[in-house]
Amino acid sequence: MTHTTASLDRRFTVAPMMDWTDRHCRVFHRLLTRRAVLYTEMVTADAVRLGDRRRLIGYSAQEHPLALQLGGSEPGAMAEAARIAEDWGYAEVNVNVGCPSDRVQSGRFGACLMREPETVAQVVEAMRAAVSIPVTVKCRIGVDDQDPETALDALVDRVVDAGCATIIIHARKAWLRGLSPKENRDVPPLDYDRVRRLKAARPELEILLNGGLGDLDAAIAEGAGLDGVMVGRAAYQTPWMLAGVDARVYGAAPTDLDRHAVVDAMAKYADRMRVEAGTPVKSIGRHMLGLFQGLPGARGWRRRLSETMYGDDATGAVLREAAGLVPAESTRRAA
C-alpha cells in the first residue's frame, strides 16, 4: 500500500467530543482559529448511512478544514459512510478506536477495538479503497491489561499496512471495566513518552499527541518532535486559547481579535440559525460559557448567559447583553 502525505496541516487539531463539538461549537471555534483542523462529534457508520444526514453531518462551509469521525467495525458500512462523508465535502474521515464508553463497546467500536487490530485494518483498507480523502485513526496506547509497548505497535503496524499514515494517540490506556468515560479521561496515567518512542521508531508516519494538554503552552511544549497535537477539553472549556493557534503554531501574522467581536459574530449567527433552522439560542450559547475565562466579569457573563439563553424567545441579543458585563478593555489579550 502506498502512503500519501495528506494536504491537511494537522499541527493543531480540536478533538471530536460527544455532545460538545457540534456544528455550532465548530462555527464558534472557527472564529478563533482559521488554521486548526476541527473534528465532528463521533457519528456511527449506520447513522450516516441510514439517518438524517443533514442533521447528523451537516455543517457550514466556514468550518473547514473539517474532519468527520466515524464509529463502527464493519468494513462495508464504514466504507459506505466514508464515501458519503467525501460526497458531503469532508476533508478527512477518522476511525474511532479510543472511546471507552459501555454504549460504544456494545456496538463493537471505540477503544475495545484496540484488542482487534486486524478488524481495524480491514476497516481502514475498505475505507481507503472507497475514498480519496485521508483515512486516519484515533486510538489509545492500550486497554485494560494490555502492555502499551506491544499493543500500540500491533495496532499501528496493521493500520499502516492497510494504508493509514496518520495516527492520533490519546496517551493513556483505557479501562473498559470499572471506569466511566469521564474517569478514563483522567485516571489512567499519561505516557507521552510512549507516543514519542513510536514517532522515533516510525518517523515516516504522521503522529499526533492527545490527552491532558491543558493550554496552548503545554500543547506546543509536549508536541515538540511530533507532527501535531489534538486538544480536547481545554479547547472547549477555555476556548480563547484557540485565538493564539494561528500565530503561535502556524506562524500567521497576529491579529487584533477581540472577544466582544466574537460574541457579536455569534449573536448574528444565532439569529440567523433561529430563523433558518429553528435553532434555540441555548444550543449555541452553551458552547461559549468559557470565552471570558480569567477576565474581570467572566462570572457575571456565565451567570447572565445561563439565566437568559434558555428562554424560548431568546435571541442573539442575550449574548451581547451578557458580554456587556465584561469590560471591553480587558478582552484584547493574547491567548
**Positions marked catalytic:** 99
Separation between Cα atoms, residue 164 and residue 94, nearest integer Å: 10
128 is in an annotated binding site: no
16 is in an annotated binding site: yes
Q: From residue 238, how far is each of 83, 212, 215, 335 by CA, in Å?
A: 34, 14, 8, 10
Residues 6+ apart with CB under 8 A from 55: none
210 is in an annotated binding site: yes
From the list 199, 292, 206, 142, the residue with the least C-alpha distance to 11 is: 206
212 is in an annotated binding site: yes
3-state secondary structure at position 142: strand
110 is in an annotated binding site: no
72 is in an annotated binding site: no
239 is in an annotated binding site: no
Q: Which three cell numbers stand for residue 161?
A: 499496512
With beta carbons less than 8 A apart as the criterion, state whether 319 and 285 touch. Answer: yes
Q: Which three cell numbers stand for residue 106?
A: 456494545
69 is in an annotated binding site: yes
98 is in an annotated binding site: no
Concatenating the DSSP letter of every residue in 55-121 gives: HHH---GGG-SEEEEEE---HHHHHHHHHHHHHTT-SEEEEEE----HHHHHTT-GGGGGG-HHHHH
Separation between Cα atoms, residue 114 and residue 116, nearest integer Å: 5
Q: Which residues are annotated as a binding site?
A: 16-18, 69, 138, 170, 210-212, 232-233
Binding residues for FMN: 16-18, 69, 138, 170, 210-212, 232-233
